[in-house]
Amino acid sequence: MSTAPTPYLSVQDLKVHFPTADGIVKATDGLSFDLERGKTLGIVGESGSGKSVSSSTILGLHRGSSAIVSGHILLDGVDLLELSNEDMRKMRGRDVSMIFQDPLSAMHPYYTVGNQLIEAYRVHNQVTKKEARTRAIEMLDRVGISNPDKRISDYPHQFSGGMRQRAMIAMGLINDPGLLIADEPTTALDVTVQAQILDLLQDLQREFNSAVMIITHDLGVVAEMADDVLVMYAGRAVEHGPCKEILTHPEMPYTWGLLSSVPDVTGDTDARLVPIPGSPPSLLNPPTGCAFHPRCLHRDKVPGDLCRTELPPLVAGTRGGAHLKRCHLSDPDSIYETEVLPEIAPDLVDDILADSAADSAADNAADNAEGAR
């Protein structure tokens, strides 16, 4: 593990534009990030910030639609955007797979869970139905479904929400893909089930050593799961870096807003929940300059009309390192300390620190185990 890891997934200047009757919708506009195997990237943003579009483009699901895609998506050195439709189809489910937000609608209601898992395995493996069935039962067992040999014949509606999502995860991992994209995997689930599903994902990631992209609007999920965080706004990255760094020293007012709008469930009940004012911009006609400026509480602190007129570049944060931000504010740290931090649920930051400490310990343990092999 001493050699510098080459990124397993490298997204470079990805643009996904949709021509519509009213103009071009820039769903993703110049997105770049790297992700190594065994690592997790959390992509955070409100609905309509382009996070789901970006991930389905990685999977090649934009093909056949009107989307105009440019840039590079290198998976293990292969540019997915250059592949033929047939080659991309073969990658899907085998090298990259995806689990979706609502497992009830994401599974076909007319086929049994087993049928759908077996199908997923047999697309990429020349095996008999019986062998595929054995594999499917094994995967259902692995994701914690009891009596998998019986439940495999059930229909999705006979499963509970959590079990359905487990089955989706089993289906996503049945071919041992190098990259797993989880699009809001816990949003449609009960809070108690959410934690179980996240734990399961983490366990499986260690076991399969896959790269995981987790798309969410829930910073709690990010704090628990992610090594790196990418905050998206209006199709662009506005803050990107190591999870701990971003969550403890965020430098972009949008990230501040996301942190302030996490409810404080353990603290005193008087604490206010501070929502981000306004709503996400239209991607058809995004605001000029920094797309966040109409909703930004701190734009007056930037001299001149810079926020409105000029798009800030994605540059290194004040503390350096891998932390990147897209903001004109010259002294974000002091504003964060004085104005933003008091509004944030205090336990959130503590949790983040505790979780990431635990994670890095676990990662080290996993690395050691890897080295010993």
Given a contact cutoff of 8 angstroms between Cβ atoms, the answer to whether 45 and 217 are in contact is yes
176 alpha-carbon distance from chain centroid:
19
Which region, judged by CB under 8 A, interacts with other proteins, from 71-79, 84-92, 222-230, 317-325? 84-92
Which region, judged by CB under 8 A, interacts with other proteins, from 83-91, 298-306, 324-332, 355-363? 83-91
Q: Rule CB under 8 A: say whether 124 interacts with other proteins.
A: yes
Nearest to 8 by CA among 33, 31, 37: 37
349 alpha-carbon distance from chain centroid:
20
Which region, judged by CB under 8 A, interacts with other proteins, from 26-34, 94-102, 221-229, 302-310? 94-102
Angle subtended at Cα 312 by Cα 311 and Cα 316, rounded to the nearest 5 degrees: 155
Strand segments, DSSP code E, in the chain are: 9-20, 23-35, 40-44, 68-75, 78-79, 96-99, 179-183, 211-216, 228-233, 236-242, 315-316, 324-325
CB nearer to other proteins: give 88 or 274: 88
Q: Rule CB under 8 A: say whether 84 interacts with other proteins.
A: no
Could you say which of 17, 39, 92, 325 contacts other proteins (CB under 8 A)? Answer: 92
Q: Rule CB under 8 A: say whether 150 interacts with other proteins.
A: no
State the nearest-atom distance from the C-beta of 301 to other proteins, in Å.
43
The CB density around residue 195, as the number of other CB atoms within 10 Å, is 15
Q: Rule CB under 8 A: say whether 108 interacts with other proteins.
A: yes
State the nearest-atom distance from the C-beta of 61 to other proteins, in Å.
6
3-state secondary structure of 183: strand
Q: Rule CB under 8 A: say whether 217 interacts with other proteins.
A: no
Contacts with other proteins, residue ranges (CB under 8 A): 56, 59, 61, 64, 89-94, 97-98, 100, 102, 105-110, 112, 116, 119-120, 123-124, 155, 157-158, 168, 171
